[in-house]
Amino acid sequence: MSDSIVFDPRVLRAPHPVPGAPDNWKRFFGFNTDAKVIGIQYIVLSLFFLLVGGLLAMIIRGELITPPSDLVDPTVYNGLYTMHGTVMLFLFLFPILNGLNNLLIPPMIGAPDMAFPRLNAAAFWLVPVFGVLLMASFFVPGGPSSSGWWAYPPVSTQNPLGHLVNGQFLWILAVAISGVSSIMGAINFTTTILRMRAPGMTFFRMPIFCWTAAAAQTIQLIGLPSLTGGAIMLLFDLSFGTSFFKPEGGGDPMLYQHFFWFYSHPAVYVMVLPVFGIFSELLPVYARKPLFGYKVVAVASFGITFLGLIVWVHHMFYSGTPQWMRNLFMVTTMLIAVPTGIKVFAWLGTLWRGKLRLATPMLFCLGGIVNFIFAGITGVMLATVPIDIHVGNTYFVVGHFHYVIFCTITLGVFAAIYHWFPKFTGRMYYEGLGQLHFWITFVGSALNFLPMHWSGLMGMPRRVASYDPEFALANVLASLGAFLLGVAMIPFLLNMVSSWARGPRAPANPWNAIGLEWLLPSPPPAENFEHDVPTVIAGPYGYGLGEPLVADQDRFIARSEEA
């Protein structure tokens, strides 16, 4: 059986656009059902919105570099920080992680595509729709939504100008459409993982990234209906005179907070779980060792899913929540430290006595893990009711949140982009620019988000456009860090664009990694393994064990190199 079945050359010339075909680029601008095309569409679009959200952040930091409100009007400031949060969450992080899901899940489990390719494409095309809607809200009379990304009523339903179409209205529509898109994605990802694995790939032979993706998408399926329901009630309160959340009509503003946080706290786990998956995938590759305690790490993902769904009231400790409820939700929140701790210790165990190679993806992983340990510690502090009552709604929370969302999740996403860049573009990136990107990002993020903890402890509330002069030093440092993060995008974009256009051709397995996706050519053909799907015979991280991952592995390696 050593004669390899090469990829059908007709595939490369088929009308279904595949890598290498003429007019290859056009497929990225149409309704394409190929998961790899959709993945790249998601990633490129969300990187564009990273720049938009980053620009908003830099205006915010420009305002906050001095104590008085002197750069923009306070009402404009409120709109800017609201849109910064909304864009970064709904148009950068969720889409870019869905992009990685699309790129990685099918090849990792040996599937030709997602379970529902048309649903997949439809879910993607909803992103530019609500992206345009959200950007359009900058231009309606009265400006965009200015009630924060939580959109707590009654501020969010005040509608000062009284127009039917206002920034808040468009914001709610955008969030609702984003929810629909995410639910479509979640159905697709979970079905694909459950039903389309290669022969021999049992759950406990599945890469951790697929485990974490499944755990995260389960949260989407359970939690999103709550947010979408809350958003629709808010829309009715805002525009059609109902009073779900209006005290004067018998409603209760606290009800919205429950709807909102029941989804929006676990939403952070939706974003961080795949990044845990990325760390767990990359550390074995760059430490040349199996993942320490694979099964426990895999199962811990669902521990986080379960606990993540029962902690939401910790956002409401100072909202008039009775003492027994505070105690209960403090305990559940603190328990999350256990499954996440298991993962962190497993990563350290993976590094121990390894053979570390500090390529760019590994640097981003290590930076992300160090930051995450810090964020986890401040997270336990925030779970502690009396501490939360002091620092809740201050810059301490902003600092903690950005340590999770930027310093961990975004660094993990960068690690993934560099690691799988050769696989899906067929080109190598430039290592020097990658390392430069890492160091500017790592230093900039510490400078930006570490001083926020300090100003929060001293009592600076979040969301203020002006502040007392005693907070000036922390804010100057944070602003300098933010501008540095802006600078960090230059080597990154330069690297991505020039490498994709002119980079050296990538071999099938440049990192000498184990995994089904590395048995495919770079870039993989439209339907991955086509009709010749390998049979998995071993666990996913057999570094140093000398066992093949799939039956007849040499044939698949030869085939991937010939293509």
Tell me the site size for other proteins, rule CB under 8 A. 102
DSSP string, 292-346: TTHHHHHHHHHHHHHHHTT-GGGGGTTTT--HHHHHHHHHHHHHTHHHHHHHHHH
142 sits near other proteins (criterion: CB under 8 A): yes
Q: Which residues contact 42 (CB under 8 A, 6 or more apart)?
A: 95, 96, 98, 99, 102, 124, 127
| Selected range binding other proteins among 17-25, 144-152, 194-202, 267-275, rule: CB under 8 A | 144-152
Which residues between 240 and 279 bind other proteins (CB under 8 A)?
Answer: 247-248, 252-254
Which residues between 79 and 138 bind other proteins (CB under 8 A)?
Answer: 79
What count of other Cβ atoms lies within 10 Å of the Cβ of residue 374? 20
22 sits near other proteins (criterion: CB under 8 A): no
Give dist(CA 169, CA 236) in Å, integer: 10
Tokens in use for 277?
A: 């998956």
13 sits near other proteins (criterion: CB under 8 A): no
236 sits near other proteins (criterion: CB under 8 A): no
Torsion 227-229-232-233 (CA) sign: negative
The residue (of 193 and 304) whose beta carbon lies closer to other proteins is 304
The Cα-based distances of 246 to 149, 156, 181, 225 in angstroms read 19, 11, 29, 22
The residue (of 374 and 529) whose beta carbon lies closer to other proteins is 374
Give dist(CA 128, CA 134) in Å, integer: 10
The residue (of 94 and 395) whose beta carbon lies closer to other proteins is 395
Out of 116, 125, 152, 483, the residue judged to bind other proteins by CB under 8 A: 152
Tokens in use for 173?
A: 């529509």
Q: Is 110 left (phi over 0), alpha (psi -120 to 50) or beta?
A: left
The residue (of 27 and 462) whose beta carbon lies closer to other proteins is 462
Shortest Å, Cβ 5 to other proteins: 24
- Please check whether residue 224 is in contact with residue 197, taking contact to mean a CB–CB distance below 8 angstroms: no
Shortest Å, Cβ 185 to other proteins: 31
Tokens in use for 263?
A: 């989804």
Shortest Å, Cβ 445 to other proteins: 16
What count of other Cβ atoms lies within 10 Å of the Cβ of residue 472? 15
Tokens in use for 430?
A: 């430039």
Q: Which residues contact 531 (CB under 8 A, 6 or more apart)?
A: none
Which value, to the nearest 10 degrees, does the dihedral of the CA atoms of residues 207, 212, 217, 223 take? 160
| Selected range binding other proteins among 87-95, 121-129, 384-392, 404-412, rule: CB under 8 A | 384-392
377 sits near other proteins (criterion: CB under 8 A): yes
Shortest Å, Cβ 325 to other proteins: 11
User: In 3-state terms, what secondary structure has residue 536?
Assistant: strand
392 sits near other proteins (criterion: CB under 8 A): yes
Which residues between 48 and 77 bind other proteins (CB under 8 A)?
Answer: 69, 72-76
469 sits near other proteins (criterion: CB under 8 A): no
167 sits near other proteins (criterion: CB under 8 A): yes
DSSP string, 491-530: HHHHHHHHHHHHPPBP-S-TT---SGGGGS-SSPPTTTTT
537 sits near other proteins (criterion: CB under 8 A): no
Which residues between 398 and 437 bind other proteins (CB under 8 A)?
Answer: none
Shortest Å, Cβ 345 to other proteins: 4
The residue (of 254 and 489) whose beta carbon lies closer to other proteins is 254
280 sits near other proteins (criterion: CB under 8 A): no
**CB-based burial label for 459 (10 Å; 0-12, 13-18, 19+):** middle
| Selected range binding other proteins among 95-103, 179-187, 437-445, 465-473, rule: CB under 8 A | 465-473
The residue (of 185 and 367) whose beta carbon lies closer to other proteins is 367
Out of 46, 78, 264, 305, the residue judged to bind other proteins by CB under 8 A: 78
The residue (of 22 and 162) whose beta carbon lies closer to other proteins is 162
Residue among 520, 509, 513 at smallest CA distance from 542: 513
Which value, to the nearest 10 degrees, does the dihedral of the CA atoms of residues 421, 423, 426, 427 take? 40
Which residues between 311 and 350 bind other proteins (CB under 8 A)?
Answer: 318-320, 322-323, 326-327, 330-331, 334-335, 337-338, 341-342, 344-346, 348-349
The DSSP code for 283 is H
Shortest Å, Cβ 344 to other proteins: 7
Which value, to the nearest 10 degrees, does the dihedral of the CA atoms of residues 34, 40, 41, 44 take? 180
Shortest Å, Cβ 85 to other proteins: 12
The residue (of 62 and 148) whose beta carbon lies closer to other proteins is 148
| Selected range binding other proteins among 98-106, 226-234, 294-302, 488-496, rule: CB under 8 A | 294-302
299 sits near other proteins (criterion: CB under 8 A): no
Contact track, other proteins, 496-515, x by CB under 8 A: ----------------x---
Spell out the long-range contacts of 4-10 with Cβ–Cβ below 8 A and sequence spacing 24 or more.
4/555, 4/558, 4/559, 4/562, 5/532, 5/555, 5/559, 6/559, 6/562, 6/563, 7/521, 7/525, 7/530, 7/559, 7/563, 8/530
Shortest Å, Cβ 293 to other proteins: 4
Give dist(CA 284, CA 458) in Å, integer: 42
479 sits near other proteins (criterion: CB under 8 A): no
452 sits near other proteins (criterion: CB under 8 A): no
Out of 414, 421, 529, 543, the residue judged to bind other proteins by CB under 8 A: 543
Out of 290, 361, 368, 412, the residue judged to bind other proteins by CB under 8 A: 290
| Selected range binding other proteins among 157-165, 305-313, 475-483, 555-563, rule: CB under 8 A | 157-165
Shortest Å, Cβ 200 to other proteins: 19
